[in-house]
Amino acid sequence: MDSFEINKIVASILLIALLFIGIGKISDLIFHVDKPETDGYKVELPESTTTGEISETKIGTIENVDIASLLALGDIGHGEKVFKKCSACHVVEKGGANKIGPALYGVLGRKVAAKDDYKYSQALADYSKEWTFEEMNGYLKKPQAWIKGTKMSFAGLRKEKDRASVILYLNKYSDNPLPLP
């Protein structure tokens, strides 16, 4: 192939590119549409009810979950399998010793950061709530987003069935399991 053939190929590619750009500019002139000064509708966002420790991800997502429906997805046997991820740092057996994280026997229904023999992060120590099904669901989804400043570096459980199963599994390990909703 000689240079004349290469020049024809390059020229045809440039001509096609210019043709597309030109057609776009001409169509913008012919079919010009003015944007309206005001939006057609306004989107209302819920007001943030964060206290500095709770992430804005709580609003409209986990906080409004029907916990009874969520727990219906769970299975204690599946929760035991999923909890193996947690067992590197936590134990659930009665009288179990703290590991990297606190022992979780009887965790549901008790105040957050209530174990005297474990040094919690300041964020958890200041968090003045109890471990309800809803709180545990939010915390297990993404601990760092639910309670800002927690030492727990676990990424979280994204699947609803996994969270529900772990919650049911944790509830089983208690002298007084919480009644299911």
Cα distance between the two ends of the chain:
79
Q: At a CB cut-off of 8 Å and minimum separation 6, what does 68 contact?
A: 180, 181
What is the pTM (predicted TM-score) of this model?
Answer: 0.64
51: pLDDT strictly greater than 60: no
Residues 70-126: tens digit of each pLDDT: 999 999 999 999 999 999 999 999 999 999 999 999 999 999 999 989 999 999 999
pLDDT at 63 (0 to 100) = 56
Nearest to 74 by CA among 178, 159, 174: 159
Distance from chain centroid for Cα 65: 13
Nearest to 177 by CA among 120, 109, 81, 128: 109
